[in-house]
Amino acid sequence: MRDRVEDQRLRDLMVAYQEGAYAAFEELYAALAGPVRGWLTSATRDRSRAEDLVQETFLQIHRARRTYDPGYPVMPWVLAIARHVYLMDRRTASRRPRYVEEQQAPERAIAPAADTRLRGEPVRAALRRVTQDQRHALLLHHLAGWSFREIGRRFGIRESAAKLRSSRGMARLRDELEKK
Amino acid sequence: MSDEVVHVPPALASAVQRDLGPVRRLPRPSRRVLWLTPLAGLTLLGGTRVFELRADAPRLGWTLTWGTSLVETTAALAIIALALRDAVPGRSLRTRAVMLTAGAVLGFTAVVTLRTWSVSPTTIVRLSPLWVGKICFTGTLVTALPLLAAAAVMAARAFSVRPWSSGALYGLGAGLGADAGWRLFCHYSDPAHVFPTHIGAILASSLLGMLASGAIGRMRGVRPRV
């Protein structure tokens, strides 16, 4: 009975979201992020990876929201998208370079002030706590001056995903520096 | 459910808000496929308008000519509806169901071929079988293209999580729809001609659908990458 009420609530939220209500998206995120994260964590066995994929899943949900039919439950629709995101990530992972070769990076001048600051040990220590993917996006954008499009192309990801990584990395870096 | 408040991460929130507006819900596949009915009708009737009805039509009777072709066209539209359903997340068909559909199409066309051959055995005598085969194969495939392209566009408007299966299905449907027309004016019922060319073209159309669906997916960036 409770499941049916919850399912109906999710359907109503999806309809409101399709009509353009951001509040409905927030409620949907609150209700669905947990199950999606749980599924992705069990699939990837990597919490950090799963967390990235949760964000990507919700971006894809946003993109595909017109395909949802309120005549059917929300959960299978959401999990199908999550599964798709996971499979595509797994497929591209093997092709994704683990690091950027120096000789392949476009030549850009590094701002002297940024370079000096980065040599500081606290920043280096904080950077080590940021995940590798986020660190690459963050440094390439803010230090090397790459555009998100260039970063996306380098890692085989979309521009929005590169932006997401960079901003998540920056938030994490800020948190780490504030702790110190 | 936990009472903990879950906030949308800022980057995701801004990405969603940038593109947040009312969207028109995708109609159900059974309704969307009706838009293809005129094109399917044209595919069925076009050939017989340009060329003439097969010479042995009176011997075959209505059932083995128009009746069977109408069944094929209806089945083609039903298969395309399945493809459109398959392109919606959470509504994908199982691989077994896709294989079963392909098997049913092959089985049906094989039975029709053998039945037609038993009622009116006609073979290629004066012309080169290879040349006739090439015409029938290419012709069926080319005739399938408009239906295939229209179905591909409709499927691309959804969010296919398994492009290969929806592509294979709409390709199969388009191929069957084209065969419905071609079998009405191809004069030869010899299974040695029909199996590799007419039925072969249906399979080739299905393969083309798979390739098209994958290419469209890549072009539209449907393959999400993180």
> Do both A111 and A173 map to the same domain?
yes
Of chain B residues 89-108, which have a CB less than 8 A from chain A? Answer: 89-92
Check which CATH number belongs to the domain holding A66 and give it: 1.10.1740.10
Q: What is the pLDDT of residue A169?
A: 87
Per-residue pLDDT reduced to its tens digit, B79-88: 999 999 999 9
A89: pLDDT strictly greater than 90: no
pLDDT value of position A23: 94
Q: What's the CA gap between B224 and B226, in Å, rounded? A: 7
Q: B157, A64 in Cβ contact below 8 A?
A: no
Residues A37 and A110 in one domain: no
- What pLDDT band is residue A112 in, cutting at 50, 70 and 90? low
Tens of pLDDT, residues B21-42: 899 999 999 999 999 999 999 9
Q: Which of A93, A113, A139 is the last residue of a domain?
A: A93
Q: Residues A75, A124: one domain?
A: no
A79 and A134 both lie in a single domain: no
Is the CB of A62 less than 8 angstroms away from the CB of B88? Answer: no
Which of B15, B24, B89 is opposite residue A77, by nearest beta carbon? B89
Domain count, chain A: 2
CATH of the domain at A141: 1.10.10.10
Q: Which of B19, B21, B221 sits opposite A158 (nearest CB)?
A: B221
User: How far are the Cα atoms of A26, A91, B11, B178, B216 from residue A58, in angstroms, in the given order?
Assistant: 11, 19, 11, 40, 22
Domain of A32 in residue numbering reads as 2-93
Listed residues A47, A65, A93: the one ending a domain: A93
Task: Examine the domain organization and report whether A80 and A107 are in the same domain.
Answer: no
The overall pTM is greater than 0.90: no
Per the prediction, chain B carries an average pLDDT of: 91
Q: Which two tokens stand for residue B152?
A: 């591909």
CA–CA separation, B104 vs B16, rounded Å?
44
pLDDT beneath 50: ranges in chain B = 1-3, 223-226
With beta carbons less than 8 A apart as the criterion, state whether B162 and B96 touch. no
The burial class, CB within 10 Å (0-12 / 13-18 / 19+), for B15 is buried
Tell me the HSE value of A144 on the side-chain side, using a 13 A CA sphere.
19
Q: Which residues of B touch A67 (CB under 8 A)?
A: 26, 88-89, 158-159
Do A83 and A15 fall within a single domain? yes
The DSSP result for A92-119, as a single string, is HHTTS-SS--GGGSPP-PPPHHHHHHHT
Q: How does B159-181 read in b/e, with b if 16+ C-beta sit within 10 Å?
A: bbbbbbbbbbbbbbbbbbbbbbb
Same domain, A56 and A88: yes
pLDDT score at B58: 93
CA angle (A39, A42, A44) in 5-degree steps: 105
Same domain flag for A83 and A117: no
What is the pLDDT averaged over residues A48-63?
Answer: 91
- The domain boundary residue, chosen from A68, A93, A118: A93
Q: Read off the DSSP letter of residue A54.
A: H
